[in-house]
Structures are given as structure tokens and as C-alpha cells.
Amino acid sequence: MAIPSLKQWQRNILFAFHNDCSPSCNTPRARTLLASHIIQKHIHMDTGTHIKGPTIVWFRKSLRLHDNPTLQRAVQLASELFPLFILDPYYINPDKIGFQRFRFMLECMKDLDHSLRKYQSKLLVIYGEPVNVLENCCKTWKCSYLCFEKDSDIYSRNRDEKVLQRMKGLGVQCFVESGHTLYDLDMLVAKLNGNSPPTQMTSFLKFIEQIGPPPKPIETVRNIPPLRKELLSSISISKVPEIEEIPGYELITEPTPCPFQGGESKALERMQQALNREQGKWIVRFSKPHTSPVSLDPPSTTVLSPYIKCGALSVRLFFWELKRVEDSFSVKTKPPVSLIGQLYWREHFYLLGYTIPHFDQIQGNPLCKTIPWEHRQEWFQAWEQAQTGYPFIDAAMTQLKQWGWLHHLTRHVVACFLTRGDLWISWEKGKETFEKYLIDGDWSINAANWMWLSCSAFFTRYFRVYSPIAFPKKYDPHGNYIRYFLPVLRNMPNKYIYEPWKAPLKVQKEVNCILGKDYPLPIVDHEEMKKRNIQKMIQVFQNKS
DNA sequence: ATACCCGTTGCGCGT
DNA sequence: GACGCGCAACGGGTA
Ligand SMILES: Cc1cc2nc3c(=O)[nH]c(=O)nc-3n(C[C@H](O)[C@H](O)[C@H](O)COP(=O)(O)OP(=O)(O)OC[C@H]3O[C@@H](n4cnc5c(N)ncnc54)[C@H](O)[C@@H]3O)c2cc1C
């Protein structure tokens, strides 16, 4: 297949756009509603006062039909519905979004498209700067309404602000619905009564206890109106692209297949499997700190994070399904270690990301301790490129790129190693790497956890340092995890699998792995760096108090 | 004001 | 697959 260049691709899309959307359609339009205003209430709001009109539902996250308040709102308003996804050039860039992350998102889009087609509709996919794309679409389709889900990260909030401005000018009324979090974040902010948000889990739990449980999921939307014929039959404008068709990704070949496929149907299936595991006992015994970082088939946690991140799975649905299972048992684990507890961690970090300025960086972030990290490019590269000489670290960084998902404790070990444990490099750098490669890469959660691990916020006991040797050895004495991701070490004897530099040359030759040639020597001495860095931490904490 | 409690997930050693 | 201690002493919340 011929791969179009970025320019060609844009041209094709614009061409298709003009051909498919002749302004001859004669649909009702609420011309009286000139002022665009945001309605931030949840779904039960009365739409009876609004005349039906052509409506765009702009999908960004929430790539699902179930429990989707934004879609429900759009369907209520629509005389004609345009399900739209915009491929924003800001994101569509292999330096920002890695192969697996982008692949996963495209699979979610394809699944959504597939579901929409059952209603004679489909996902309209357009490449371009969102504000301009939306303006074009609204003009061409003579839209009265635009519906999208509330987003909380900085880029999205700025983008959405610009969109609202532009739509106001066009007289298109916008509806912004909460849906990505358990609770509407603005409702939580209001409940703070001007107090700063909780920074500890125990305080957060008290805070939401007084609010009560999150809303129950709403009915899956089933009355999606058909898409107008010209658009439905057009191939060029609408097709969810293959990853090879995207400029910049065409030459990247998938290293190994990632075991996780995107999409709402896979998400629901995966959730069901988790709920049914050991007839629910797996759920009620779940205790996060006791799950194993090295189990791969199946992993010891749900791996619902990439689905939740894309909104292929609703957190409220997951919450209430967990609640249902828990209610049928008398003995169960509790937050923060339980699975519901994990959803509370997410909510907690979302609220912080929403309210704390510059949450994703050190500068200007009132929660983040300023630690004098020192950037060493060769060390950073060794970490990122799985060349540290510590097999567990390198195996983990290989898994990050191949699968786009790591167990929580594996994230701990590599994050600790990069920052306070060994390399003394800023968590901001590590966060960027994670953001790029993780299929569940999430602005708030990623930043919060990096601050946690680096003792920059929330957690301060800096003498608790993960050993890249002792920690994984507890779970995996034979190093099977390492052997799986680092084939070069596959035949290393158990005795040396975590510390191959200790293998005598004779052994190295026998197993065809010469240190410094086939596999790197360790870039630092962990014991030495740990001692030195704890001393640095003592300095930092003394100077501050 | 001050002391004390306790926090999802450390290590290495001793018992 | 248990637990207690030193490590050297964080910090928000509560009494
Ligand atoms: C340095 C670092 C970076 C991280 N970056 C991300 C990220 O970009 N995106 C992300 O989703 N998670 C991130 N996490 C949190 C956590 O590691 C993952 O959410 C979890 O491993 C996902 O696997 P799971 O779905 O099997 O989790 P489960 O244990 O099955 O938990 C269920 C859900 O709860 C939520 N959750 C679980 N753990 C956390 C947590 N610690 N904080 C907030 N929410 C949580 C997730 O949505 C997850 O899908 C990071 C952790 C660390 C230490």
C-alpha cells in the first residue's frame, strides 16, 4: 500500500471533506442560541428546553458506548449526530507517543467505530489542529451543538478553553460533561470549601466518605442516530487509520507483539475475567503491595489501566462491579490496598492534578520538594535504552517498550533507580519517558507517582531504597522475568542472573555472554550510590526544615 | 505548643 | 512469604 506523506494525507482528508459535505443539507438549527455556555452538570439535566440540532460528539477519551454521559447528552440534543475524533498533530508524533501507546489508542478507536457502525454511523477521523478542525466541521455541517468530556490535564484544559472561545464566536453551544473520573472534579473542588485538596490517602478517604459513593453508571447509549449517507459511504474522511499510515510511524516495526489489545469490548471482557477470577475471591483478597511484579502470564494486577486511560472502560462501572463482588463477601481487603482503593488512588491524583499548579513539574509546583538533581545524559540514556548493566532494570525498560505496561512495583524499582536510588536524575525526565511509552500513560497519575518515588512529594522516607538485585530476587529467584525480556542473558546461571558481572569469564564464555561486549557492565555501583544518595537526601531535608 | 501516631509496596541482619 | 530491629529520623493530622 502506498503511504501518503503528512501533506498528502491532510490534503486527502480536506478533499474528502469538501466533497462529502456539501452545505445543501437542510437540518433544523437553534439559531436563537447564540451564546455558547458551558454546562458542567452531570447527565440528568433537562435537555427538553433545547431544540434538537446537528450535534458533534467529540471523542478524545471515553472511547466507549457504555456509561458515557457525553454521548448520551449528544444523542438527546442531536437531530443529526457527527461522532468525531481529531488526530491532533501535537500528539501524533513518535517522539511524544510511542508505537505501542498509539497502537492501543487506534485499536480503541477502531472498536468504537465498529460499535457505531451497528447504528449506521461511524467514527469520523480528521487530522488537524482541534480548534480549526472543529470550526470547519461546525460550519460545514451547520452544527448547533458540540459535546465533549471534561478533561483535566493542562494541555487539554488550554485546548478546550480555546475551543469554547471559538465556538462562542460561531454560536455553537457547548456541553462539557464529567465522565473520566469517579466524581465530577469540579464538584470535588466545590466540596473542598476553599480548603486545599488532601495530600494523603487517609485524608482523601475521609473527604470522599463525607461525599458518599460515586454515581452509578448510566445505561449504554442505544439510540444513536444514523450518519448522513455521503459521510457514511465516504472512505477517505472517516477511516480509522492503520498505524503504518501515520507519518512518522510508518518505519517503526512492532518489536514484539504486545499482549494487550485496545477497545471497549476487550476492556469489558478483561474486567469480567478479573471479576470472575476465583469466583470473586481474587477481588476480595487483592492487596496491592503483595502482588508480584514479575508475574507475566497472567499479570498479578488487572491491567485495566490502559483501558481506563482511554476511557474504553468507565471507572464508575468498574467501581460498582467491584462493589457488587465485595458485597457478597464478609471478609475483604480495604482501601488503600484493595482494588477499589486503587481507583481511589487514581481519583486522589486526578484531584491533585486538577488543583495544584504545575503539577507535572518541579518549578512552580507547591507540593514538590526541590531536590538538586543532576542530569547525566549517558546515565539517562543507559536507563532509557535498557543498558544499565543491572539485568532487572534493563529487563523492565525492555518490557516498557515492548509491552507499554509494567507492574506497579516494577515501576517503583526503575523510578527509584533513576532518581533517588542510584542515578540522581530528575523525576521529570523519567516521567517523560513513561508518558511516551506507557499504554496507560496518564498525566496526573504519572506525575504523582514519580514525585512519590523520588521523595519529592507524598512520601519522604528516603532510606527505603529499592535494590535492583534483592527486591526482584524475592519474587523470582531464578530470574525468569529477566530471561524472558533479555534473551542475551537467557543461559546465565541462576547464581549470576541478577549480577552477571560476577560471573567468571569461563562461565561468561560458556553461556555466550561476555560482559562489556554482549551485555553492559553496571554503569554504577548500587551500594555506593545508595549510600551517597541517602547522604544527599539528608542534606536536602535538613536544609529545608 | 508539643508529642505522638502512622503512613499501599526497603534492606540486611538476627531470631 | 514470619517478625523485629537499626538505618536516621519525614510530616500531616490529631490529642
Ligand atoms: C513511576 C510510576 C508511574 C506511573 N504512571 C502511571 C501512568 O502513567 N498511568 C497509570 O494509569 N498508572 C501509573 N502508575 C500507577 C500504577 O503503577 C498503574 O496504574 C498500575 O500498575 C496499572 O496496572 P493495573 O491496571 O493492573 O493496576 P491495578 O492494581 O489493577 O489497579 C486498578 C486501577 O487503579 C488505578 N491505579 C492503580 N494504581 C494506581 C496508582 N498508584 N495511582 C493511581 N492510580 C492507580 C489504575 O487506573 C488501575 O488500572 C505509575 C506508577 C509509578 C510508580
Domain boundary among A135, A162, A180: A180
Confirm whether any atom of chain C, the nucleic acid strand, is less than 7 Å from CB of A5. no
Coil, strand or helix at A80: strand
Does A141 score more than 80 pLDDT?
Answer: yes
Q: Which of A30, A70, A71, A80 is nearest to A50 (CA)?
A: A30
Q: Find the mean pLDDT for residues A83-111.
A: 96
Is residue A171 in some structural domain?
Answer: yes
Domain boundary among A180, A196, A231: A180
Confidence at A38, pLDDT banded by 50, 70, 90: very low
> How many domains in chain A?
2
Residue with cell 469490548: A265
In eight-state DSSP terms, residue A34 is -
A47, A73 in Cβ contact below 8 A?
yes
Does A146 score more than 70 pLDDT?
Answer: yes
Is residue A220 in some structural domain?
Answer: no
Average pLDDT, chain A: 91
Is residue A186 in some structural domain?
Answer: no
Which amino acid residue places its CA nearest to atom 51 of ligand 1? A449
**CATH number, domain with residue A66:** 3.40.50.620
Confidence at A14, pLDDT banded by 50, 70, 90: very low
Q: Find the mean pLDDT for residues A251-272.
A: 89
* Complex ipTM value: 0.98
Is residue A283 in some structural domain?
Answer: no
**Atom of ligand 1 at shortest distance to CA of A305?**
49
Give the whole-angstrom CA distance, residue A401 versus residue A256: 9
Does A527 score more than 50 pLDDT?
Answer: yes
Give the whole-angstrom CA distance, residue A124 versus residue A127: 10
Q: Which of A444, A442, A384, A375 is nearest to A415 (CA)?
A: A384
**Atom of ligand 1 at shortest distance to CA of A406?**
21
Does an H or E element contain A139, and which? helix A130-141
Give the whole-angstrom CA distance, residue A251 versus residue A521: 31
Does A507 score more than 80 pLDDT?
Answer: yes
Residue A80 among known ligand-binding residues: no
User: Residue A533's domain spans which residues?
Assistant: 377-543
Q: Is A336 in the pocket of ligand 1 (CB under 6 A)?
A: no
Percentage of chain A beyond pLDDT 70 is 90
Cell, residue A176: 462539557
Confidence at A543, pLDDT banded by 50, 70, 90: confident
Percentage of chain A beyond pLDDT 90 is 86
Is residue A310 in some structural domain?
Answer: no
Residue A304 among known ligand-binding residues: yes
Is residue A331 in some structural domain?
Answer: no
E strands, A1-144, are: 53-59, 78-87, 124-127
Give the whole-angstrom CA distance, residue A393 versus residue A529: 15
In eight-state DSSP terms, residue A476 is -
pLDDT tens-digit series, residues A284-321: 999 999 999 999 999 999 999 999 999 999 999 999 99
Report the nucleotide nearest the CA of residue A472, measured to C1'. B10
Amino acid code (one letter) for A455: C
**CATH number, domain with residue A381:** 1.10.579.10
pLDDT attached to residue A234 = 79
Answer with the residue of higher pLDDT: A50 or A357: A357
Confidence at A133, pLDDT banded by 50, 70, 90: very high
| Residue at minimum CA to C1' distance from nucleotide B6 | A202
Does an H or E element contain A143, and which? none
Residue A462 half-sphere exposure toward CB, CA atoms < 13 A: 26
Is residue A365 in some structural domain?
Answer: no
**Candidate from A271, A411, A449, A450 with most ligand 1 atoms within 8 A of CB, to mutate:** A449
Domain boundary among A157, A180, A203: A180
Which residues make Cβ contacts (< 8 Å) with residue A370, sequence separation at least 6? A362
C-alpha of residue A305 to centroid of ligand 1, in Å: 6
Is residue A97 in some structural domain?
Answer: yes
**Atom of ligand 1 at shortest distance to CA of A414?**
1
Which amino acid residue places its CA nearest to atom 16 of ligand 1? A408
Does A348 score more than 80 pLDDT?
Answer: yes
